[in-house]
Amino acid sequence: MAELLATRSSRGHRTICLPIAEAAYRRIVSIPSEFRHALDDCFRQSPELFPANFAHGYQFKDVRMSAKRGVLIRRLILSDGRASSLRPSFLMPYLTARTEDVEGPLFVRTCGVP
């Protein structure tokens, strides 16, 4: 039991995937006012992609450069104090690859190919 608890993350995985084109993301990620406007638009169009308390407010926390992909990644703090990263949809979870690079291999996996 203790081993199971030791491997489980107490923080959880807090990443919000934004459905946004790469060109638009690169243009607005470094401009807080434009990024906030785009984020609010994404929330209005797809609230299911966001945490339940997102509507109660948020603040931008910081911006960091992804070492894996060389893309700026913003983080925000929700009104309850929890931080979340904002990942663009053109990158896979954990920034392991670009979606266009893995689209074909992932499709082949749906056909039962190992």
Domain count, the chain: 1
Q: Does residue 90 belong to any structural domain of this protein? A: yes
Contacts of 27 by beta carbon, 8 Å cutoff, 6+ apart: 34
Q: Does residue 1 belong to any structural domain of this protein? A: no
How far is the CA of 52 from the CAs of 35, 64, 80, 86, in angstroms? 20, 25, 11, 15
Q: Does residue 41 belong to any structural domain of this protein? A: yes
Spatial CA neighbour of 61 closest among 45, 43, 79: 79
The radius of gyration of the chain's CA atoms, rounded to the nearest angstrom, is 16
For residues 59 and 92, the model is more confident at 59
Calpha distance 59→69 (Å, rounded):
25
**Averaged pLDDT score across all residues of the chain:** 87
**In the predicted model, what is the mean pLDDT of residues 48-72?**
94
Cα distance between the two ends of the chain:
34
Q: Look at residue 109 and tell me whether its pLDDT is greater than 80.
A: no
For residues 52 and 111, the model is more confident at 52
**In the predicted model, what is the mean pLDDT of residues 66-93?**
93
Q: How confident is the model at residue 76 (pLDDT cuts 50, 70, 90)?
A: very high
Which helix (H) or strand (E) segment holds residue 65: the answer is strand 58-65
Q: Does residue 6 belong to any structural domain of this protein? A: no
Looking at residue 91, the DSSP 8-state letter turns out to be B
Q: Does residue 105 belong to any structural domain of this protein? A: yes
- Domain span including residue 15: 11-110
